[in-house]
Amino acid sequence: MQSSRLRGPTYHSSPSSHSSKQLVSRSMAARRLLCSLFLAAALFGVASAATRRHDWDIGYQFTSPDCVRKLAVTINGHTPGPTIRAVQGDTIVVAVKNSLLTENVAIHWHGIRQIGTPWADGTEGVTQCPILPGDTFTYTFVVDRPGTYMYHAHYGMQRSAGLNGMIVVEVPPGGQPEPFAYDKDHTVLLNDWWHKSTYEQAAGLASVPMVWVGEPQSLLINGRGRFVNCSSAPTTAASCNVSHPDCAPPVFAVVPGKTYRFRIASVTSLSALSFEIEGHEMTVVEADGHYVKPFVVKNLNIYSGETYSVLVTANQDPNRNYWLASNVVSRKPGTPTGTAILSYYGGRSSPRARPPTPPPAGPAWNDTAYRVRQSLATVAHPAHVVAPPVSSDRTILLLNTQNKIDGRIKWALNNVSFTLPHTPYLVAMKRGLLGAYDERPPPETYDHAGYDVYAVQKNPNATTSDGLYRLRFGSVVDVVLQNANMLGPNSSETHPWHLHGHDFWVLGYGAGRFDPAVHPATYNLKDPIMKNTVAVHPFGWTALRFRADNPGVWAFHCHIEAHFFMGMGVVFEEGVERVGELPPEIMGCGKTRGGH
Amino acid sequence: MQSSRLRGPTYHSSPSSHSSKQLVSRSMAARRLLCSLFLAAALFGVASAATRRHDWDIGYQFTSPDCVRKLAVTINGHTPGPTIRAVQGDTIVVAVKNSLLTENVAIHWHGIRQIGTPWADGTEGVTQCPILPGDTFTYTFVVDRPGTYMYHAHYGMQRSAGLNGMIVVEVPPGGQPEPFAYDKDHTVLLNDWWHKSTYEQAAGLASVPMVWVGEPQSLLINGRGRFVNCSSAPTTAASCNVSHPDCAPPVFAVVPGKTYRFRIASVTSLSALSFEIEGHEMTVVEADGHYVKPFVVKNLNIYSGETYSVLVTANQDPNRNYWLASNVVSRKPGTPTGTAILSYYGGRSSPRARPPTPPPAGPAWNDTAYRVRQSLATVAHPAHVVAPPVSSDRTILLLNTQNKIDGRIKWALNNVSFTLPHTPYLVAMKRGLLGAYDERPPPETYDHAGYDVYAVQKNPNATTSDGLYRLRFGSVVDVVLQNANMLGPNSSETHPWHLHGHDFWVLGYGAGRFDPAVHPATYNLKDPIMKNTVAVHPFGWTALRFRADNPGVWAFHCHIEAHFFMGMGVVFEEGVERVGELPPEIMGCGKTRGGH
């Protein structure tokens, strides 16, 4: 990683003397970058900002994250990839070289709003064509807010293959101070892990009858776990090596008396998790880059796509080690606890020594009320409330159902299962390419008065569409996500919904059927937290509000990899006419194939 | 498959009334096709020709070709794909839709010279950019000669994943009759099969230290085999099902007294094979689409990329079944015999009954002399000799060696290991894109006087390059492929070299060092067979001649999938300035990314 402090005026040099087409194109790219830099400077009063360049090589690598050898997709040979550390206002430049053999790639910067750079969101089919083997695509964007974020592949089910990592953005010197103090931070990236390849998983999902991915074999903390059946299961005995360095347990060292900020992100493909540090209370202070009114938990519920910061004081007996533990909740667990070790400097225990107690098993997996309470407790820090607009211009009600289309199980919103177009929306809309996607918008609502969310849907049929919602630029939009019973009786899951390009206010959660005549009156307009990912609890609803003020095209979808693959998503467009000239590098597929 | 007889005059309608850009582009495509059709008609005196359209959907599918479940890449759900049947002069149109999730694809029509359509050769990096997921690429080409051919993926190591099939081109009514007669034909596609994915195989080959792909687990006949360790090996017991319909043995039914043409193609990734039909003599009559002076064999040696036709008369006891058997030769076999069943109509044996004898084990795997004799016996049919030019304008001597580059094992020609560029040569050269490939040609020869082909090379270093040989259009080129000892002592393998876009005359084979002052005098200029694939035997040399008269850019490489991946290939260009306007659909990668 190279880092260089840039001064604004350096970028003022006029490109007018350039004559060749290539140079003009370069100067346009420079101007776009310049805009972003100035925007960042203007927004945050930062006098100077750094440009932090990373060169990434995406390749196949045999890894043993849970001691079982598997081919992973890696960044510079590693999974997870490197943590990107930056300061608010910095420009991040990541040159992504695709060294895979036949497979394309795209990387999403999860939680970064991409203000002024919608083409850098990394969402294949929405904001860009994928990066072909042998090609290098350079993502350039500004990290405009401090906080804890992540990155991961956003193409097929490639995230599950190992392409993920964390982004940490610090408050700059002289910036607005954070409403809490700590001595040092630790990063904790939570994941779930399968031994089957993502190609096999995807082929199973698309089969008739569907082959579900099943529960993960292991839970990983910072890319490490331990498959329990290593020696007993014949299918893995040959490829399982419990002393492989890839699966050595992560150790988090602390100094007695000091306070640590644990920056925690979940990039799981499926699992909702409960995270804890044995014997230590955690004070929740940040969620998705926003400051939380502090509250203390023993277990942090964290859904795929969410990030949290918790403060932990090293105030326990330093002469033993403690477990960091990750347990599956919301689905009946079929996976053992994921573990790491908390170890005190200067204590009598060896840093890698197994704690004397068994790893914590977490709360009851089906205690929904417990998890809803934590969702409700997550509100804005009093000194950092961003007041939501008091009303919205438009409300979109989305009924989340499991459906059957052509014998395949799908997920649908208002009975429409989402498919990605092959020409990215951003390109198709800017260029006016007709027929690139269905111009008919998906339905705005459903028959909410007559729908029993606790019953099996009478007619599980649905249609597929790549239509999208076009939002009036600057308008305020409410979305209510209504969960329901699945295809089988008495079943409903938790869905973590992630919005690209925005943070939204979380206005409320409810159990059962949402009633638009009743429930909006219960919304929290006083101190709602802003987030980019939010849970929709079983048989419940979640209401959120956002301002459609970021020109671009933005995905909004369940962050469970298999669910998005099965159609659980929608797309919003706003102010696409305000988006500047698109970088040609995002094109080359679908209707822009071969320079069309 | 749709088939429609077209009449020449139908294509005479002038496209001049078209006005929009799209229509002009369409009319250009039509004109290109028209050229090809007229060319075909002119060459072969065919009054009318059919256009045969195929719609292919490329996807993942769980298959059990050898009773072990594996994810394969399939055509319309099957591997091998459908046999393309056509008549000489027909135009084949194959619309290839890529329904893979994140993986691109390209399909090569092996043995079809693509006269007038060099962009349809399907060689990723040479003639086209790969086809992206969601895209459909339409290959249109004329099958200009009768014979037995094949198709397969030509991208990464995708051929091994299941993308392959056969092409059978018949003599049209009124065309030149074939110099032999038969009652019916059977197609036999030979392959080898691994349980590891091609991603794992490729990652192993690129690792330091290299992980070799190893011997195949099974040999397949028409996509079917049987893994012998099905029930005993714990790693496969769970996924192995000996009664799976995918691995039911193929049955070839014959009527007593009739004569059959067995059209045999080998699409193996690694293995040289010996094929036989128990108890039945085979008369070799065709090789790579050219008529052979008939000779009788018990075992047919067939190398990857080769096709043969043999005549077999059903003249044995009809009351028992017989084995079709495929055995590994040239490498020490680690794979059991691949089998199928020959069954007589009206006999007393059930068609699927196991023959009463054990499957034939084939000849000694290391009997090189036996195989060389068959190579030498393969000469042109007396009535169909195409006389070679008596001399050549240029001779390229290619020393085939195994080398080490940056700790990785590679194959090299004259110490240059081939790498594919990311902008296809055909596009880069037609558009004059600088820097798309190394403009310095690879070496024309090596120190042949001083090289001991039986010794371990003193210095195994080599360089990599994507340079190519530019041939004067219309010139006659000799290529001598010199085999040598590998990195280890006393080791040399058979390499089947395949030339795209041409047939070449096979002028001679020799053992040991080729001497340009001596051996050309021994060339067979009287009745050499023409082929597109030829074996270079261990420690030996093979000399071939071709006329560089097909405008385009053409790969020439070892047909062993892993060897080409490790650099064992070169590329020829000839008359690229004569190539018509390129279809934009072949672009979109490398320097043509995003319409550059």
Q: Do B155 and A102 touch (CB under 8 A)?
A: yes
Q: Which residues does chain B have within 8 Å of residue A101's beta carbon, measured at their own beta carbons?
A: 156-157, 199, 202
Q: Which residues pair with B276 in a beta bridge?
A: B325
Supply the DSSP symbol for B129: P
- Give residue B24's region: left, alpha or beta (phi > 0; psi -120 to 50): alpha
**How close does chain B come to A319, measured CA to CA in Å?**
42
Does the beta carbon of B24 lie under 8 angstroms from any beta carbon of chain A? no
- Cβ atoms B198, B156 nearer than 8 A: yes
| Alpha carbons A555 and A485: distance in angstroms, whole number | 24
Q: What pLDDT is stored for residue B592 in this prediction?
A: 86
Residues of B within 8 A of A79 (CB-CB) are none
Q: How far apart are CA A390 and CA B556, in angstroms?
A: 70
Q: What's the pLDDT at B279?
A: 98
Listed in sequence order, the DSSP H helices in A477-541 are: none
SS3 state at B118:
helix
How long is chain B?
Answer: 596
Upper half-sphere CA count for residue B298 (Cβ side, 13 Å): 7
Q: What is the CA radius of gyration of chain B?
A: 23
Question: Which residues of B fall within a CB distance of 8 Å from A234?
Answer: 234-235, 237
Note if the bond before A80 is cis, omega within 30 degrees: yes
Cα B532 to Cα B308, B313, B505, B555: the distances in Å are 12, 28, 9, 11
B593 part of contact set with chain A, CB < 8 Å? yes
User: Phi then psi for A41, rounded to 5 degrees?
Assistant: -65, -40
| Interface contact A237, partner B, CB < 8 A | yes
DSSP H or E segment with residue A519: none
The Cα-based distances of B338 to A360, A372, B226, B251 in angstroms read: 54, 60, 8, 13
Question: Averaged over B132-161, what is the pLDDT?
Answer: 96
| Residue located via tokens 């059209």 | B263
Residue among A105, A207, A590 minimizing CB distance to B134:
A590
Looking at chain B, the number of H-run helices and the number of E-run strands are 6, 33
Neighbours of B93 (CB within 10 A): 17
CATH architecture of A184-383: Sandwich (2.60)
Cα-flanking dihedrals φ and ψ of residue B420, to 5°?
Answer: -80, 140
When CB atoms are compared, the residue of B102, B588, B595 closest to A158 is B102
CA distance B384 to A336: 71
Residue A232: its pLDDT value, please? 65
Question: What percent of chain B has pLDDT above 70?
Answer: 90
A364 touches chain B (CB under 8 A): no
CA distance B166 to chain A (A): 23
Q: Which residues from chain B sit within 8 angstroms of residue A593, using beta carbons?
A: 132, 135, 584-585, 587-588
* B21 has pLDDT over 50: no
**Distance from C-alpha of A111 to C-alpha of A536, rounded to nearest angstrom:** 18
What is the mean pLDDT of the segment spanning B91-120? 97
Cβ-Cβ pairs closer than 8 A, A with B, add up to 149
- Which residues touch A309 (CB under 8 Å, ≥6 apart)? A148, A185, A261, A262, A263, A264, A284, A285, A286, A287
Contact B593 A585 (CB under 8 A): yes
Q: How far, CA to CA in Å, does B506 sit from each of A399, B2, B492? A: 69, 38, 21
CB A574 within 8 A of CB A473: yes
Q: What is the pLDDT of residue A19?
A: 34
Is B387-578 CATH 2.60.40.420?
yes
How far CA A399 is from CA of A439, A461, A479, A552, A566, in Å, comes to: 21, 14, 11, 25, 15
**Mean pLDDT confidence for B380-389:** 98
- In sequence order, the 6+-apart residues with CB closer than 8 A to the CB of B271 are B192, B215, B216, B219, B304, B328, B331, B335
Cross-chain Cβ contact B589/A207 below 8 Å: no
B500/B569 Cα distance (integer angstroms): 12
**pLDDT, one tens digit for every residue, chain A (596 residues):** 444 443 332 222 233 333 333 333 444 444 555 555 445 444 554 446 899 999 999 999 999 999 999 999 999 999 999 999 999 999 999 999 999 999 999 999 999 999 999 999 999 999 999 999 999 999 999 999 999 999 999 999 999 999 999 999 999 999 999 999 999 999 999 999 999 999 999 999 988 889 999 999 999 999 999 998 887 665 666 789 999 999 999 999 999 999 999 999 999 999 999 999 999 999 999 999 999 999 999 999 999 999 999 999 999 999 999 999 999 999 999 999 999 999 999 999 999 999 999 999 999 999 999 999 999 999 999 999 999 999 999 999 999 999 999 989 999 999 999 999 999 999 999 999 989 999 999 999 999 999 999 999 988 999 999 999 999 999 999 999 999 999 999 999 999 999 999 999 999 999 999 999 999 999 999 999 999 999 999 999 999 999 999 999 999 999 999 999 999 999 999 999 999 999 999 998 988 886 54
Contact B504, B488 (CB under 8 A): no
pLDDT for B63 beyond 90: yes
- The partner residue sitting opposite A199, judged by closest CB among B71, B238, B588, is B71
Residue B22 has pLDDT above 50, yes or no: no
Query: A98 has which bridge partners?
Result: A58
In this complex, the residue of A202, A588, A595 whose CB is nearest that of residue B101 is: A202
**How close B208 gets to chain A, by Cα (Å)?**
11
- Nearest chain A residue to B25, by CA: A596
Using a CB-CB cut-off of 8 Å, the residues of chain B touching A584 are 593-596
Tell me the chain A residues in contact with residue B593 when contact means C-beta distances shorter than 8 Å: 132, 135, 584-585, 587-588
Do A132 and B129 count as a contact with CB atoms less than 8 A apart? Answer: yes
Q: Inform me whether the C-beta atom of residue B206 falls under 8 Å from chain A C-beta atoms.
A: yes
Asked if A228 and A48 touch (Cβ cutoff 8 Å), the reply is no
| CATH class of the domain comprising A385-578 | mainly beta
Mean pLDDT across chain B: 91
B318 CB within 8 Å of a chain A CB = no
Buried b vs exposed e over A10-33: b needs ≥16 C-beta within 10 Å? eeeeeeeeeeeeeeeeebebeebb
* 8 Å CB contact between A164 and A80: yes
A chain contacts of residue B428, beta-carbon cutoff 8 Å: none
Structural contact between residues B399 and B483, judged by C-beta atoms closer than 8 angstroms: no
- Distance (Å, whole) CA A553 – CA B52: 42
Residue B408 burial (CB < 10 Å; 0-12/13-18/19+)?
A: middle
| Nearest residue, CB atoms, A588 vs list B234, B583, B594 | B594
Cβ-count burial of B489 within 10 angstroms (0-12 exposed, 13-18 middle, 19+ buried)? exposed
Token digits for A103? Answer: 């497979």
What was the pLDDT predicted at B17? 33
The two three-digit tokens of residue B41, written as one number: 């008609």
Q: Which of A391, A276, A365, A283 is nearest to A326 (CA)?
A: A276
Q: Which of B135, B200, B203 sits opposite A590 (nearest CB)?
A: B135
Average the pLDDT over B367-378 and give the result.
Answer: 97
Concatenating the DSSP letter of every residue in B412-440 gives: EETTEEE---SS-HHHHHHHT-TTSS--S
Strand order in the sheet with A322-329: A251-254, A338-344, A322-329, A272-277, A300-302
Q: How far is A409 from chain B (nearest CA, A)?
A: 17
* DSSP letter for each residue of A439-494: -SPPPS---TTT--TTSPPS--B-EEE---EEE-TT-EEEEEEE----SSTT----
pLDDT-based confidence at residue B71 (cuts at 50, 70, 90): very high
A133/B129 Cβ within 8 A: no
**With bands split at pLDDT 50, 70 and 90, how would you rate the model's confidence at B234?**
low
Terminal C-alpha separation, chain A: 36
Q: Is B445 on the interface with A (CB under 8 A)?
A: no
Å between A387 CA and nearest CA of chain B: 42
Cα radius of gyration (chain A): 23
Partner-chain contact A132 B589, CB within 8 Å: yes
pLDDT value at residue A237: 63
Q: Would you state the structure tokens that stand for residue B323, as one six-digit string?
A: 């084995």
Chain A residue with the nearest C-alpha to that of B200:
A71
B197 and A202 within 8 Å at the Cβ level: the answer is no
Residues of B whose CB is below 8 A from A210: none
Quick one: which of A507, A552, A498 has its CA closest to A528? A507
Using a CB–CB cutoff of 8 Å, tell me whether B105 touches chain A. Answer: yes
pLDDT of residue B327: 98
Written as six digits, the tokens of B515 are: 């001497």
For residue A49, the model assigns a pLDDT of 86
Instruction: Give CA torsion, residues A352, A356, A359, A360, to 10 deg.
Output: -130
CB contact under 8 A, B202 and A60: yes
Q: What is the rounded CA–CA span in Å between residue A102 and residue A133? A: 6
Residue B388 is predicted with a pLDDT of: 98
- Find tokens 């919304």 and name the residue: A523
Residue A238 with chain B: CB contacts under 8 Å: 235
Find the closest chain B residue to A583 by CA distance: B594
- Any A CB within 8 A of B157 CB: yes
Mark residue A183 as left, alpha or beta (left: phi above 0; alpha: psi -120 to 50; beta: remaining). alpha
**Cβ within 8 Å, pair B135-A206:** no
For A339-374, the three-class secondary structure string (H helix, E strand, C coil) is EEEEEECCCCCCCCCCCCCCCCCCCCCCCHHHHHHH
Residue A316 to chain B, least CA–CA distance (Å):
46
The DSSP element (H or E) to which B569 belongs, if any, is strand B569-574
The CATH number for B184-382, chosen from 1.10.287.1770, 2.60.40.420, 3.60.20.10, 3.30.1490.20, is 2.60.40.420
Comparing CA positions, the residue from A94, A329, A590, A389 lying closest to residue B135 is A590
Facing residue for A584 by CB, picked from B134, B204, B594: B594
**Cross-chain CB nearest to A197 (options B197, B206, B584):** B197
Backbone angles phi, psi at B356, to 5 degrees: -75, -10
Contacts of B594 in chain A (CB under 8 A): 129, 583-588, 592, 595
- pLDDT confidence tier of residue B15, bands split at 50, 70 and 90: very low
Return the amino acid letter for A114: Q
Cβ contacts of A72 within 8 Å, gap of 6 or more: A60, A61, A62, A63, A65, A79, A161, A162
**HEC letters along B513-559:** CCCCCCHHHHCCCCCECEECEEEECCCEEEEEEEECCCCEEEEEEEC
Homologous superfamily of B2-177 in CATH? Cupredoxins -  blue copper proteins (2.60.40.420)
CA dihedral over B585, B591, B594, B596, signed as positive or negative = negative
B102 touches chain A (CB under 8 A): yes
Would you call A588 and B588 a contact, using CB atoms and an 8 Å cutoff? yes
Contacts of B550 (CB under 8 A, 6+ apart): B113, B114, B115, B118, B501, B502, B574, B575
State the complex-level ipTM: 0.89
User: What gap in Å lies between CA B126 and CA B149, rounded to an integer?
Assistant: 21
Q: Where in chain A is the domain with CATH 2.60.40.420?
A: 2-177, 184-383, 385-578
Measured between CA atoms, how close is B158 to chain A, in angstroms? 8
Q: Which residues of B touch A199 (CB under 8 A)?
A: 60, 71, 101, 103, 197, 199
- Tell me whether B197 touches chain A (CB under 8 Å): yes
- Confirm or reject contact between B156 and chain A (CB < 8 A): yes
- How does residue B233 score in pLDDT terms, banded at 50, 70 and 90? low
Q: How confident is the model at residue B39 (pLDDT cuts 50, 70, 90)?
A: low
